[in-house]
Structure 1
Amino acid sequence: MNINQYKLILFSLLLVFTSVSTGDEFKEEQLSSTTRYPEYLATTEILVIGGNLPKIKRTEQRRIHYAGRMVDVNGLSRTVNLFFSNSPDILNQWIMEVEIIGVDTLSFALKNEELEISAEQNTVWLDFANNGQLMRMMDMNGYVIDEGDATVYIRYRINEEEGDLRLYLGVFMQSGNFLTQYNGYALSTLRSNGYPKYKM
């Protein structure tokens, strides 16, 4: 075999190897380009982090507002409001209300099986000890929870679409000293999962 024949064989092998390699890479690129991700991901969990409720006198009336954002079942970003109002009758008892801007109907409870969208349950009572520790929560059905993993189950309706999510208040239960002498507005973070259909 002369040198020219050897060069020709080597060139042919190189050409075949290059075409096969390029074909495999093209297939991989084609496969990755066909991967489809969801257009949006609706919020299923909201975690309440930080925050303080002021320690006030029995005769004083206060309403504390927390705000955050979530993604609804249609992929739209919406504002979530938590309102805390102190009870005029019971010391260290607060009433929590949840509001999602733009939804038609909202209902929530401390037990998932008790959720009825038509009932429009929208209040939870929180009882604190004198040292500020959150002791227990009670919903409109009379269900009481006094464990560290405090979860509020929420169901909402937008037109004919219904969505469910969980509001975690476990940090409130575990941290203690939630009632303080803080006289300004409560500072809190509502951390939610999901991502919207349209960028804000």
Structure 2
Amino acid sequence: MKLGTVLPDGVLRLGPWEVKDHPAFLRLDGLVREAASQLVALRQDPIAVASSPNRFDDAHTYDWRAVRCGDFISENGSYYPGVDLDRDIATASRQAKTAYAVLRALDAAGWRDLFAKAFDIRMPDQTLSVVVQNGLTWLVLSANNVTEDECDPVFAIWEDAEMSYFAEAKERFDWAIRNPVPLEFLGENDKPSWRQAMDWQD
């Protein structure tokens, strides 16, 4: 999407996210911009590709990946019985196979390490996703094993400018990827889920 595109309004913003390593940020930006361009060209909606080295803190033995491409959705290392990304992708559409190839290229290029370096954060288990929804392109960081200082920030991926922080996702995206509308935003008067939990504990 290009600068000037109308984006959702009335959203919760907890930023800014300060870039700490600009060369790493530029490399990441180039990777996700190319990935978003390739996914948009598939002409499916929604599309999301996601990966995490440890989606659940009680399972340290696999690299989790998921692909959503229109009606197709599958993942590996899933808690859903009968779901197997590598098996399911073999009989999937050309578009879904291309989306999976985009994800594998991102992983091979070390996009998660670049994100961590760019913003100087630890990423032991968070999910990183590129999303195309309603023609808009996003990068989502999902705090899978939530702590009180983590949310689910969403960054706008631009064709003609550097990626920029936009708002906070309403739901953990590693679960929401299966929803009819995967990416929804917290409203400006909403509280992130971890803050609701802290209020409940108090």
Compute the TM-score of the two structures, normalised by the length of structure 1: 0.26
Compute the TM-score of the two structures, normalised by the length of structure 2: 0.26
Which one has the largest radius of gyration? 1
Q: Which has the higher strand share?
A: 1
Q: Which has the higher helix share?
A: 2
